[in-house]
Amino acid sequence: MRTDIAIRALFAFAFGVGLLSCNNSRDYKNNSRATGWDINSDEGGFQYNNDYKEQETAPGLVFIEGGTFTMGRVQDDPMHDWNNSPTQQHVQSFYMDETEVTNKMYLEYLDWLKRVAPPSDERYSDVYEGALPDTLVWRNRLGFNETMVNNYLRHPAYGEYPVVGVSWIQAVEFSDWRTQRVNEAKLINEGYLAEGAQYKAGPGETFNSDTYIYNPENVYGGNTELSQGEEVQDRLEDTNEEGNPVKKVYPGRESGLVSPEYRLPTEAEWEYAALGLAGIRNYNSYRGRKKYPWDGQYTRSGDVKRQGDQLANFKQGAGDYGGIAGWSDDGADITAEIKSYEPNDHGLYDMAGNVAEWVADVYRPIVDDEFNDFNYYRGNVYTKNAINEDGSVKILGADEVVYDTLANGKLVARNLPGEIAQVPVTEDDTYMRTNFTESDQRNFRDGDKSSTRYYQPFQDATEPSKRMYNSPTYNATQPSDTTGAAPQRGYDTGTRTTLISDEVRVYKGGSWRDRAYWLDPAQRRYFPQDMATDYIGFRNAMSRVGSKSKTENKTARN
């Protein structure tokens, strides 16, 4: 009898504990922690993607887990450069292109431009031309390179070779185009945009991710046959008693469907990724230092099958771009096909040699780690969406394409129809802020009074010849000039002290034209952002949102 009572009491206790446990572990996936209201209710209310796991790796990219590293020159420095002193930096996790952007990838961009901004339409006559790579970069006064001038960009023999002749500005525009096309494809696959919309869009009917988030009805120039896929139509039909849609019709950023933008990597990201330090990590420390993206202090392979072959495509000596006939050496005299060499420990190809690569940063000799050592980047120019009088975002029309006039007089489109107009942040936006004070931050703590050659406290050194960053002003026009008028040739003839300005950008890595010295990922050089060469290409990066590590890399924590 006592045993029965004890057993019943034990069951009652267990049942009570179970009820308490259920109550404490309420399903907050479908109920709000804040209000207790239902989330994603069929009757309406707050809608949220509770099934989101983590960021998908976008096309062409590989994941780079972030961490700390020593940025700058850590090996021998025979040139005694003072522009890459070692600094300790931390880089957040991000994604980077497995290879350089190829001719075939860039030709896809040109083909799309020709469809949505046809050169025959006077409204877009300069858009396509402004995106064309400069194939004349191959010409040499005392060299016969017309074969590359005529064939390198378009001939299928060079389809998987890195694109060159692209300025920094053109690389940025390509990156933006790529963002829009990837997000467009994702929304088509999910049924939010019409099937085949990417092929049916006509001139001026462009998709833009930010426009879709802020004013989805106006993507594709307001063409609802393209912007309303089956999923949108179903949601429009699913209404409540008042006739209003039950669920949010168009997915916003909270849906997780819209990826972060493709962009140029920052200098810190590029150098971190190129080094591939993951291969020499022991627990929470690095096992030594690396001079190249591969292990070892030499550029030649020690592998038995490839003994003596070069590990990258670069210039080995005067008049030696690829070794003698019949001996592979580096296998190329100009650029080489992508993936011709082994990847580094991050799975990235050609992070040394082949082509040097544009990065996002404005060049300055000093990396100011005293101010910031987290995601270091110099080049921020903050903007905000332009707002109409009715409070809606201002979407640019077919007649509102804005052009930048380059130093050589060439026009490059800074936007396309369907994008949201951008304006600089104002003093009202920065009032009482401690983290930034104005729109253009490229000169912050550098290029100001304290950076002048003859700076004295409390004296205004305004004379141009005394300024450290007093570079030539070609054509006497501003890079943001939007008049579309070609300026007069030439540049101002004032006394100049440097080639450095806010319009020169860093490029990293050695190229097929460079000696081995430049293969060190720490090396840094600069070039005007509106000019191109036959040895500078680029690859894209994308920021990682969410956790630092991918799911399979996470360790269990108790």
Listing DSSP states for 166-223 in one string gives: --HHHHHHHHHHHHHHHHHHHHHHTTSS-TTHHHH--TT----HHHHHH-GGGGGGG-
Give the DSSP per-residue string, 409-450: S-EEES--TTSBPEEE--HHHHTT-SS--SSB-TTTTSSSGG
The mean pLDDT of the chain is 85
Under 8 Å between Cβ of 319 and 302: no
Average pLDDT score over residue span 529-534: 94
| Greater model confidence, 43 or 36 | 36
Q: How confident is the model at residue 475 (pLDDT cuts 50, 70, 90)?
A: low
CA distance 147 to 180: 34
- Positive or negative: CA dihedral 539, 543, 548, 553: negative
pLDDT value for 204:
85
Per residue in 294-328, pLDDT tens? 887 888 877 766 767 888 999 988 998 888 887 76
Q: How confident is the model at residue 487 (pLDDT cuts 50, 70, 90)?
A: very low
Q: Which of 38-42, 113-117, 230-234 shows the lowest mean pLDDT across its residues?
A: 38-42
Under 8 Å between Cβ of 99 and 336: no
pLDDT value for 186:
95
pLDDT value for 552:
64
CA distance 68 to 218: 43
Residue 124, pLDDT above cutoff 60 = yes
pTM exceeding 0.75 = yes
| Greater model confidence, 206 or 445 | 206
Average pLDDT score over residue span 121-149: 93
Centre a 10 Å sphere on the Cβ of residue 45 and count the other Cβ atoms it contains. Answer: 14
Q: Render the burial of 51-87: b for 16+ CB within 10 Å, e for the rest.
A: eeeebeebebbbbbbbbebbbbbbeeeeeeeebbeeb
Q: Return all residues near 494 (Cβ < 8 A) that are at least 6 apart.
A: 464, 465
- Read off the tokens for 462: 């305004």
What is the enclosing helix (H) or strand (E) of 285? strand 285-286
CA dihedral 506, 508, 512, 513 (to 10 degrees): 40
Nearest CA to 535 among 130, 145, 105, 137?
A: 137
**Amino acid at residue number 410:** K
Measured between alpha carbons, how far is residue 434 from residues 321, 425, 428, 430, 448 in Å?
52, 15, 13, 8, 19
- Positive or negative: CA dihedral 341, 349, 503, 133: positive
Per residue in 308-317, pLDDT tens? 788 899 998 8
- What is the 8-class DSSP label of residue 474? B
Cα 377-379-384 angle, rounded to 5 deg: 115
Q: Which of 99-103, 492-496, 510-514 shows the lowest mean pLDDT across its residues?
A: 492-496
| Greater model confidence, 429 or 465 | 429
**Of all residues in the chain, what percent carry a pLDDT higher than 90?**
55
Residue 20, pLDDT above cutoff 50 = no
Under 8 Å between Cβ of 291 and 75: yes
Under 8 Å between Cβ of 250 and 242: no
Per residue in 192-236, pLDDT tens? 999 999 999 888 899 999 999 999 999 999 999 999 999 999 888
Per residue in 374-428, pLDDT tens? 999 999 999 999 999 999 999 998 888 888 887 777 888 888 889 999 999 999 9
CA distance 144 to 544: 45
**Amino acid at residue number 308:** G
Nearest CA to 227 among 240, 213, 246?
A: 213
Residue 19, pLDDT above cutoff 70 = no
Strand partners, 358: 507
Nearest CA to 209 among 250, 162, 165?
A: 250
